[in-house]
Amino acid sequence: MTETTTRRTPAVRTLRALGYGAGAGVIASMAMAMYAMVASLVQGTGVFTPPHHTASLIASDDAMNASVGAAASGSNFHLVFGAVLLGSMIHMAVGAGYGALYGPIAARFDIRGAAAAAVGIAYGGAVAVASAFVGLPVAAAILGSGDQIASMAETVGWGTFLVEHLIFGLVLGALLGARRASTAIHA
C-alpha cells in the first residue's frame, strides 16, 4: 500500500484560510457582543442597546433610543426582537469579514500558540482603530446612518470600544492559532 500526499495549491490554501478566518470571526464577534452587552448593562444603558445600536446602521435608531430610555427608567432589558436580530446579523457579518482578512495572515505567518493570542489582540486593536476612524464613518456616510454609527467609539466610550475589539482579536487569534496547531499535529 502506498501513501499519497495531497498538496493544495496556494489558491486553495488561501480560500481555506479565508473560510476558517470568517468562521472564527463570527465566533469572536459573539464573544465581543457578550462583553458589549454586559458593559452596556453596567454602564446603565441597557443590555440590548449594543445590537439595537448596530441595527441603526441600516434601520431606524428608534430601538436604540428606546433601549437607552428604558434603561434610564430602570428597565435594563428593553428588547425589540427584529432590531436585535438585525444588529446581531450585521455584527457577525462584519466579524466574518475582519476574520476573513486575518485568516490568510495567520496562515501565511504560521501563527500558533500564545503568539496567536498576542497577535490576535494586536489585530483587534488595529480593527478598533480602522473601524472608528474609517469603517464606521464611511458606512454611516454611505448608508445615511448618522452620528450614532459614525461616532460609535465615542458613543459607547473609547475604553469599552477598545476592550470589545481586543476581545474580538484575542478570540480570533486563539481560535485560528489552535486550529493551526491542531492541523500541524495531525499533518
For residue range 120-154, what is the model confidence (pLDDT) as tens digits? 999 999 999 999 999 999 999 999 999 999 999 99
On whether residue 33 sits in a domain, the answer given is: yes
3-class secondary structure, 2: coil
What is the total count of domains within the chain? 1
pLDDT band at residue 185 using 50, 70 and 90 as cut-offs? very low
- Would you say the pTM of this structure is higher than 0.75? yes
Tell me the residue range of the domain where 97 lies.
17-186
pLDDT at 186: 40
On whether residue 2 sits in a domain, the answer given is: no
82-122 pLDDT, tens digit per residue, is 999 999 999 999 999 999 999 999 999 999 888 999 999 99
- Cβ-based neighbour number of residue 154 at 10 Å: 11
On whether residue 4 sits in a domain, the answer given is: no
pLDDT at 112: 87
pLDDT of residue 5 exceeding 90, the answer is no
54-64 pLDDT, tens digit per residue, is 999 999 999 99
Burial pattern 22-48, b for ≥16 Cβ within 10 A else e, equals bbbbbbbbebbbebbbebbbeeebbbb
- Cβ-based neighbour number of residue 153 at 10 Å: 20
On whether residue 11 sits in a domain, the answer given is: no
Angle at 130 between CA 128 and CA 134, to 5 degrees: 130
On whether residue 3 sits in a domain, the answer given is: no
On whether residue 126 sits in a domain, the answer given is: yes
Burial pattern 121-130, b for ≥16 Cβ within 10 A else e, equals bebbeebbee
Instruction: Give percent of the chain with pLDDT exceeding 70.
Output: 92
Nearest to 62 by CA among 48, 75, 50, 80: 80
